[in-house]
């Protein structure tokens, strides 16, 4: 009789303990799944806001470019008004969007967006506004077709980078590797900012590379974001000068060597107090 009671007590204890452990395990899994889904939904909202803002500004810039190229006075004025309106909306949420991108997609995604894509938006915007002012100041002056041509190429290069950024971030959202789970991002996934540059590449990173080549004397080049023959020849000359493999492809080793040379040629800050 005592043995039966002991077995019943033992069974009750084991059932209670094991049931509690299993219940805790499955409850934790449910909590984690719900939290991951919550992070995914919030990240999707951030992506939607940022992506729409980029598309709106890019389209307004293209409309201004097309109107300047066509020399249509009415279209130019209307396009500039639309661009300035889009710019106000852009600046209203600029810091908020950047902070949220950092929070949900991590430092690397944020750095590519703020340091590459947003910087190119600003540069092209200044070029377009300068073309607009020149048009207003001197209506009789012939249009600067060469500069407008370069601006059009840079807009296409910027559009390519926006597409690649969108594609990468959407993949992060689909995997749920966002927010509190951003560390789960697959390291093997190709990242837009790590891709090699070569003949035919069109991106804002090509424009940055062209500026770097000019900065160390391998120019002049059209800073248009298109990796053409002139950029390829300048790249080969740089690789030969730096003792790298001469193949015209801007890979990590070529980028690193360029960074070293730019750092060596940039003026150093002098010590001591300034008045």
Domain definitions of the chain by residue range? 35-190, 204-265
Among 14-18, 56-60, 186-190, 264-268, the range with the most confident prediction by mean pLDDT is 56-60
Q: Which of 233, 225, 228 has the alpha carbon at shortest distance from 200?
A: 228
Query: Considering only the top CATH level, what class is 35-190?
Result: mainly alpha
The confidence score (pLDDT) of residue 17 equals 61
Percent of the chain exceeding pLDDT 90 equals: 60
Q: How far apart are CA 57 and CA 46, in angstroms?
A: 17
For range 53-75, the mean pLDDT: 93
The confidence score (pLDDT) of residue 232 equals 95
For range 35-57, the mean pLDDT: 95
Among 43-57, 116-130, 171-185, the range with the most confident prediction by mean pLDDT is 43-57
- The string of DSSP codes covering 174-223 is HHT-SGGGGGGS-TTS--GGG--B-TT-BSHHHHHHHHHHHHTT------
Is the pLDDT at 173 greater than 60? The verdict is yes
Residues 6+ apart with CB under 8 A from 64: 76, 79, 80, 82, 83, 128, 132
Is the pLDDT at 272 greater than 50? The verdict is no
Instruction: Name the architecture of domain 204-265.
Output: Orthogonal Bundle (1.10)
pLDDT digits (tens, 9 = 90+) for 202-233: 999 999 999 999 999 998 898 999 999 999 99
pLDDT band at residue 192, thresholds of 50, 70 and 90? confident
- Whether the upstream peptide bond of residue 86 has omega within 30° of 0, thus cis, is no
124 or 22: whose pLDDT is higher?
124
Is the pLDDT at 253 greater than 70? The verdict is yes
Is 0.75 surpassed by the pTM of this model?
A: yes
Per residue in 134-163, is it b (16+ CB within 10 Å) or e — as a string? ebeeeeeeeeeeeebebbbbbbebbbbbbe
pLDDT digits (tens, 9 = 90+) for 67-106: 998 888 889 999 999 999 999 999 999 999 999 999 999 9
pLDDT digits (tens, 9 = 90+) for 109-166: 999 999 999 999 999 999 999 888 887 765 545 555 557 778 889 999 999 999 999 9
Q: Which of 44, 38, 48, 49 has the alpha carbon at shortest distance from 180?
A: 38
């Amino acid at each position: 009789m005592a043995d039966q009671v002991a077995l019943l007590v033992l069974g009750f204890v084991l059932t209670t303990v094991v049931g509690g452990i299993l219940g805790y395990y499955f409850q934790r899994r449910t909590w984690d799944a719900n939290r991951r889904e919550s992070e995914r939904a919030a990240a999707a909202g951030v992506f939607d806001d940022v992506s729409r803002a980029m598309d709106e500004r890019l389209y307004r810039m293209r409309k201004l470019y097309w109107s300047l190229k066509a020399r249509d006075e009415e279209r130019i004025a209307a396009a500039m008004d639309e661009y300035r309106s889009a710019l106000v909306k852009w600046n209203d949420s600029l810091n908020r969007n950047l902070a949220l991108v950092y929070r949900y997609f991590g430092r690397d995604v944020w750095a590519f967006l703020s340091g590459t894509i947003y910087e190119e938006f600003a540069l092209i915007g200044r070029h377009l506004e300068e073309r607009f002012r020149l048009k207003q100041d001197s209506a009789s002056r012939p249009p600067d077709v060469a500069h407008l041509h370069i601006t059009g190429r840079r807009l296409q290069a910027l559009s390519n980078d926006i597409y690649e950024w969108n594609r990468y971030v959407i993949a992060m959202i689909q995997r749920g590797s966002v927010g509190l789970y951003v560390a789960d991002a697959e390291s093997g996934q190709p990242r837009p900012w790590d891709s090699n540059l070569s003949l035919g590449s069109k991106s804002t990173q090509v424009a940055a590379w062209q500026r770097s080549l000019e900065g160390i004397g391998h120019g002049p080049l059209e800073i248009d974001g298109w990796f053409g023959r002139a950029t390829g020849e300048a790249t080969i000359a740089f690789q030969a000068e730096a003792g790298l493999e001469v193949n015209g492809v801007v890979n990590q080793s070529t980028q690193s060597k360029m960074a070293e040379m730019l750092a060596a040629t940039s003026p150093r800050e002098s010590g001591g107090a300034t008045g």
